Amino acid sequence: MRPLSMSGHFLLAPIPESSSDYLLPKDIKLAVLGAGRVGKSAMIVRFLTKRFIGDYEPNTGKLYSRLVYVEGDQLSLQIQDTPGGVQIQDSLPQVVDSLSKCVQWAEGFLLVYSITDYDSYLSIRPLYQHIRKVHPDSKAPVIIVGNKGDLLHARQVQTQDGIQLANELGSLFLEISTSENYEDVCDVFQHLCKEVSKMHGLSGERRRASIIPRPRSPNMQDLKRRFKQALSPKVKAPSALG
């Protein structure tokens, strides 16, 4: 290792053997969907900042962009929050259209309901079907999340209902409390990132930056070789130069 000078500071950092060792972070695009005030924004903010912020204005579709590390891999993560007012069954065409664009853009999905709101649970299946309709050829990873697991006294959706639905749809399922358990929120997002990464086929081989060493001119190399050959005692005829 050699010391690397950066803005007046000396850091010990390995200098890449070649410029092709510079790595780009993987791009991961996620969307969080769910009908009603199920805690989508709270989940995203909890994951990105560790903080639970109790009060949010109803969101109109915010995009979060962050560099994050998942198991040592640097990811350029984008998370699209979607408005909870959207019901895929009975929404206006333009609302469904904007949701479809978001679904088209994303590669991995969190479908969130609140365990205190049975209607939000019922909206998961149509949302899931919508994702599969928009991505007919890819098996984009989907995780179903039952949020607000701390509000047991107000429970309307049993854990078993969540498990059954997830089994039917072939998704992963987790019941969590965004307000009480940061680790569970983190697990959900990290798992989804890993699934998307796997889907990219990038888990083993990391994409390399386009900064690649300039190839040596083949003509110069060839010329050198032929000069060497020509100067070698074994070569008698000057015609060796061609």
Quick check: 19 and 211 in contact, CB under 8 A?
Answer: yes
Contact characters 68-87, ligand GTP, x per CB under 6 A: ---------------xx---
Interatomic CA distance for residues 178 and 51, integer angstroms: 10
- Shortest Cβ distance from residue 148 to ligand GTP (Å)? 4
Paired with 80 in beta bridges are 31, 63
- Of residues 38, 240, 30, the one with CA closest to residue 140: 30
Residue 8 annotated as part of some ligand binding site: no
Contacts of residues 64-68 at CB distance under 8 Å and 24 or more positions apart, as own/partner, are: 67/25, 68/193
Residue 108 annotated as part of some ligand binding site: no
Q: Which residues, numbered 172-191, are part of the site for ligand GTP (CB under 6 A)?
A: 177-179
Residue 148 annotated as part of some ligand binding site: yes
Quick one: which of 80, 123, 147, 171 contacts ligand GTP (CB under 6 A)?
Answer: 147
- Of residues 134, 143, 109, 133, the one with CA closest to residue 30: 109
Quick check: 99 and 20 in contact, CB under 8 A?
Answer: no
Residue 151 binds ligand GTP (CB under 6 A): yes
Residue 181 annotated as part of some ligand binding site: no
Give the nearer residue to ligand GTP in terms of CB position, either 56 or 69.
Answer: 56
Q: How many CA atoms within 13 Å lie on the side-chain side of 187? A: 13
Residue 149 annotated as part of some ligand binding site: yes
Q: Which residues, numbered 19-58, are part of the site for ligand GTP (CB under 6 A)?
A: 34, 37-42, 54-56, 58
Q: How many binding residues for ligand GTP (CB under 6 A)?
A: 21
DSSP 204: S
Binding residues for GTP, by number, are 34-41, 81-85, 147-150
Binding residues (CB under 6 A) for ligand GTP: these are 34, 37-42, 54-56, 58-59, 83-84, 147-148, 150-151, 177-179
